[in-house]
Chain A
Amino acid sequence: MTEPAIIKLTIDGKDVETAAGTSVLQAALDAGIYIPHLCHHPDLTPIGACGLCIVEIERHEEPAPSCVTPAETNMKVTTKTEKTEKLRRLALELMLAGHPADCGTCEKYLNCELQSIKQYLGCEELSVKRRSKLLPVNSSNPLFVHDPNKCVVCGRCVRACRELRGVGVLFYQKKGRETLTGTGADLPLADAGCRFCGACAEVCPTGAIQDKDESARGKNRKRILIPCRYNCPAEIDVPRYIRLVKEGDYTGAVAVIREKVPLPGVLGYICDHVCEEVCRRDEVNEAVSIKDLKRFAVEHDEQRLWEKNLKKKPATGKKIAVIGSGPAGLTAAYYLNNLGHAVTVFEALPEAGGMIRYGIPDYRLPKEVLDSEINDIINRGVAIKTDSRVDSLDMLFNDGFQAVLVTIGTQKGQKLAVPGADNEGVLVGIDFLMDVNTGRQVAIGDKAVVLGGGKVAFDCARTARRLGAGQVNIACVECREEMPATTEEIAQGEEEGVRIYPAKNARRILTQDGRITGVELLDVASASFNEENRLHIEIVENSEHVMEADTVIFAIGQQPDVPAGFDIETGPNRLVTIDEFSYSTSREEVFAAGDAVSGATSVIKAIASGRKAATSIDRYLGGNGIIDEKLITPEEPESCLGFEEGFASIKRGARDVVPVEERLKSFCQVAADLDEEAAAHESRRCLQCDLRLKITSVKFWGSY
């Protein structure tokens, strides 16, 4: 006679129904009846090792471990009898006997399953002998600490590693009298083939295996455990798209990226990749090339799945004007248009794109990529009016726009107020770049000095080299480690012959006969920004020296140029003041976002700002502000990773770049394209930190 699909049994007098094949323990827990357990975990095969889940079953001679006893029809289970309580208590005491007695100093305090069960059973005094295991704590591995003194040999880590992840680098071991878990031959995790997925730490019920970073246990553990995603200003689901690239589903990867940002190709070239700076893989060896994988996915997306799944809401009848077609403006326009509003973007310059087009040189971002993505936005229904500078907002309201978003960025570059700064050979970096990017002739001498240490400074310096300047120096007040430019830009700049002089302050520009001859510099002892974001520099006395120059380019910062006719409040550095929650300016129906509000930051931050502004504006106009969309059916990621020899030592793929001599001849793209093999290699390096949060959480007894 075969067992029916649903089993009916009684637990503690309560009628319980469960599917055939379920253990008595799982049936009880599902029905809200708590039976203490430690080695049991909902995602792992039960082994009946800890001894805690003992129950008595009618017609069974001996008490049985309920986690490995299949529920049977008409079974009568009693979870608490004299016999079970005696055995259960003894099992706990035996585990506590070798366990450190002081809960208060342990990082797992109040988050420890053993402690919770100890409280539940009310076990303070032990009838068995205590001992100290005196096993060494291992903090020599990246990311995780192993303290075998706290191990209760539940075996969850061994099962999680082998069964759940298919890796199997943890084994039961005996050291002297003590049993613990560890790698074969006590190899470091990296050498044993560990994939640093964190499943072991996730399932460990005590403090035996923990994340090194304490905050990984707190309320905001997502930020620490999946730092790439949660440090991205737009919260792009990085592990998910890397996984899709690994699986060869490039169109799926792009769909994931586009769920958060409308300019993935642009970002794939020039994003300053905060994600890579916090990538957990970096603790193992080197960060994953997340930005390059984004670019690769975009370049190989043939099916454009995202486009097929985009849904545009019905027309709301509302009209919104966006001023400025940089990343913030384009992003907000895109989302507001998707929500059904009629959006018109007003762009003062001849082409759309803002700083992306006019501030970033071609060798960093081929403009076809930007053009294509702007076209995608226009094709969704966004109207972009170029050569249309707006000086007064009232005109827009008279024309029937119900809300205006100011995303004019920071186009006004500054010069230092030093003697000689108004000489005609002194250029403002951002204007210089704009001139070059619009094809105008720019006079540049042979010895250029760029003042500033950020992206604009490097763009200027490297552009100057391409325009023929023989000697290009960058001087900035920051020390090398603090320079805001990315490591790639600095490295590529130096390869192209740009010389970098950090920790220098410019005192004056020297001229002779109206022509620049040099810059007088002082050494900087320290430079820091105070609370009001003002730079405080300490210079070294008597350190004046002159750097030769015939051209000086200031790239020390930019401010927005807000027309008076906007009639909105601005604050320090001429930035537009907004309410941090609603993004509205001093005028209720006028909103602002992007660099115009925050000062010059990055494209991704501007995009994130545009998203938030769109949300806010939609709500203002009566919508629900939900701009999130599903561009790809959610997939359940494969939890089995498999064993890969030498996983931890797979090096980050070398970024192929065009040879220097080639680069300086033109503004051709510097970064070489990734091929499929390189993309597969790189995406495989990802630790897939997000898988860990898919492991079922164990409920403590208070939740039953």
Chain B
Amino acid sequence: MNYEQVLAKAKRECKDGDRKGVAGPQHKIALRNCGYIDAESIYEYISHAQGYRGLAEALNVSRADVIEELRKAGLRGRGGGGYPAADKWKTCLETGEDEKYVLCNAFDSDPKSHIARLLLEGDPHSVLEGMLIGAYAVGAGHGFLCVNAENITVIDRLEKALKQMQKNSLLGEKILDSGFNFDIEIKGVAASLVSGEETALIRLLEDKQAMPYRRTVYPAVAGINEKPTLVNNAETLSHVSAIFQNGAAWYAGIGTEKSRGTKVLTITGDMVNSDTIEDPFGTTIRATIQHSGNDINITDIKAIQFGGPTGTFLGPDSLDTPIAFETISEIGGIMASGTIEVFDNSHCAVAMARNAIDYIESQSCGKCTFCREGSLQMADILKDISENKGKPEDLELLLELGEAMATGSICGLGKTAPNPVLSSIRLFRGDYDTHINEKTCLKK
């Protein structure tokens, strides 16, 4: 079937006339359909939500043109790195290989962030359509969708979705009557912070232990079994489908100059009601927290940890920073999962740092010396300091360990692992000094 035929069929099959409820505010892109359409009906996605129109548009133009359109949109990866998606797609397209893969990283490694899960439970096709567009653009024939193995609902919905795609010329051979062939495999991944690392997933798909490796070339050039592999985050792909449904010009008008589009953010921690919201880049941290309906007293905030378990602690003065890749990194932070955790004044920074490093140490895969032993040493030092057994040299050692981990670790987890500890020392030296010199805690 071609797209017109599929669309006509979808309209026939839909039980309801239109989307449930009111269409969300303009600034929802990834989560645009979540809650408004039946996640288990491909027909509602097609009929009510411009579903697969993006794919149809893409298939009408050349691969290079698809990538050019993406470049105009200015999409940056949402997996944490913020790498320009079009550059990655172009690199992958330009390898001379015949056998290529698409790897959709739909694994929420940050335990407090549920973006991929929400997307796949609420609107799986927005991600799947993005995968297909990417696959077409780079010339891939097979895709892997990596999800948390424990999430049965997601896997169930994905299996249904794939079956429906198959029935409607959207998967397998001759997709939408074009020459494009593609199939998708769902892969369950054991839960661990390191499982979200792309190189770990590549190893897993090669039937090896899911542990990161040092790459000398990008996966787009050589990934699974040394074949070019396009790795994109699920959130990124949901943006891809939106871009091709609505046009690059529309997308480029949202967000900031260097960070186009929106970001799903998770608000959590003290004083707030936990929420997941989506705001355009450029929205300040303060505004985002307020958008989630949380009206908090700024003076009660001790710190915010931005970016998940390895995010840096930021002081209350960071609240007016616009959220975008360039602005967050300017203040020494990382985008990562886009989780904003609020800490009120009841906390001691040493305890905050200790919790952070304890978790990181438990999640380290153990392969490289600096992360494995470094995080263990840091955890032990933080334990000593918090138990009032710390020494002034300990802070120097923490800095030295942190530098080594940032330089010498194999993967992003190890490289960013020192962030919470080192940023807490920078911001709250007083808390540390009290423990070390006065052998007591400010918060007791």
Contacts and interface: CB of A to CB of B under 8 A. Distances in A.
Interface residues of B, number: 29
Interface string B359-384: 00110111111101110110011000
B404 A87 contact: yes
A63 B403 CA distance: 12
Interface string A154-193: 0100100010000000011010010100000000000000
Interface stretch (B129-137, B210-218, B227-235, B341-349): B210-218
B377 A179 contact: no
A49 B407 contact: no
B408 A51 contact: yes
B407 A62 contact: yes
A92 to B, nearest CB: 9
Contacts of A127: 397
A158 B203 CA distance: 14
B367 A49 contact: yes
B290 interface: no
A95 B404 CA distance: 14
B416 to A, nearest CB: 15
Given A48-B214, A90-B404, A128 B369 contact: no
Nearest to A127: B397
B69 to A, nearest CB: 30
A182 to B, nearest CB: 12
A91 B369 contact: yes
B397 A63 contact: no
A537 B407 CA distance: 75
Contacts of B66: none
A179 B372 contact: yes
A129 interface: yes
A484 interface: no
A94 interface: yes
B216 A70 contact: yes
A49 B369 contact: yes
B368 A94 contact: no
Contacts, number: 82
Contacts of B407: 62-63, 87
Contacts of A49: 367-369, 410
A49 B377 CA distance: 17
B209 A171 contact: yes
Interface string A77-101: 0000000001100110011011000
Interface string A46-62: 01111100100000001
B65 interface: no
Contacts of A51: 368-370, 404, 408
A130 to B, nearest CB: 10
Interface in B160-212: 208-209, 211
A98 B410 contact: no
B408 A65 contact: yes
A91 B209 contact: no
A153 B208 contact: no
A68 B214 contact: yes
Interface in A24-80: 47-51, 54, 62-63, 65, 68-70
B400 interface: yes
B372 A153 contact: yes
Contacts of B410: 47-49
B380 A94 contact: no
A54 B408 contact: yes
Among B209, B368, B370, B381, residue most surrounded by chain A Cβ atoms (within 10 Å): B368
A177 B361 contact: yes
A90 B408 CA distance: 11
Contacts of B408: 51, 54, 63, 65, 87, 91
B377 A47 contact: no
B370 A47 contact: no
A128 B381 CA distance: 9
A69 B209 CA distance: 23
A114 to B, nearest CB: 12
Among B208, B376, B400, B410, residue most surrounded by chain A Cβ atoms (within 10 Å): B376
Contacts of B404: 51, 87, 90-91
A98 B373 contact: yes
A134 B60 CA distance: 64
B213 A47 contact: yes
A91 B370 contact: yes
Interface residues of A, number: 34
Nearest to B367: A49
A153 B367 contact: yes
Interface in A120-148: 127-129, 131
Interface in B58-78: none
Contacts of A87: 404, 407-408
Given A69-B216, A91-B404, A172-B211, A47 B367 contact: yes
A97 B361 CA distance: 16
Given A54-B408, A90-B404, A172 B366 contact: yes
A63 B404 CA distance: 10
B308 to A, nearest CB: 21
A54 B401 CA distance: 16
A47 B209 CA distance: 14
Among B211, B366, B380, residue most surrounded by chain A Cβ atoms (within 10 Å): B366
Given A47-B214, A129-B380, A97 B367 contact: no
A153 B365 CA distance: 11
B397 to A, nearest CB: 6
A172 B216 contact: no
A152 B400 CA distance: 21
B376 A177 contact: yes
Contacts of A128: 373, 377, 397, 401
Contact of B208 (A62, A65, A129, A162): A162
A131 B370 CA distance: 16
B387 to A, nearest CB: 14
Nearest to B407: A62
B369 A153 contact: yes
Among A49, A69, A129, residue most surrounded by chain B Cβ atoms (within 10 Å): A49
A152 B209 CA distance: 18
A454 to B, nearest CB: 55
Contacts of B367: 47, 49, 153, 155, 172, 179
A162 B208 CA distance: 9
A94 to B, nearest CB: 4
B392 to A, nearest CB: 14
A37 to B, nearest CB: 12
A51 B380 CA distance: 21
A15 to B, nearest CB: 24
Contacts of B213: 47
B190 to A, nearest CB: 12
B377 A97 contact: yes
B214 to A, nearest CB: 4
Interface in B398-433: 400-401, 404, 407-408, 410
Contacts of B372: 153, 179
Nearest to A163: B208
Nearest to A174: B366
Contacts of A50: 368-369
A302 to B, nearest CB: 42
Nearest to A131: B380
22 contacts: A47-B214, A47-B410, A48-B214, A49-B368, A51-B369, A51-B370, A62-B407, A63-B407, A68-B214, A90-B400, A90-B401, A91-B408, A127-B397, A128-B373, A152-B369, A153-B367, A172-B365, A172-B366, A174-B366, A177-B376, A179-B365, A179-B367
Given A51-B369, A174-B366, 9 more contacts: A49-B368, A65-B408, A87-B408, A90-B370, A90-B401, A94-B374, A128-B373, A129-B377, A172-B367
Interface of B: 208-209, 211, 213-214, 216, 361-362, 364-370, 372-374, 376-377, 380-381, 397, 400-401, 404, 407-408, 410
Interface of A: 47-51, 54, 62-63, 65, 68-70, 86-87, 90-91, 94-95, 97-98, 127-129, 131, 152-153, 155, 158, 162, 171-172, 174, 177, 179
Q: Which 3 A-B pairs have the closest CB atoms?
A: A179-B366, A94-B373, A48-B214
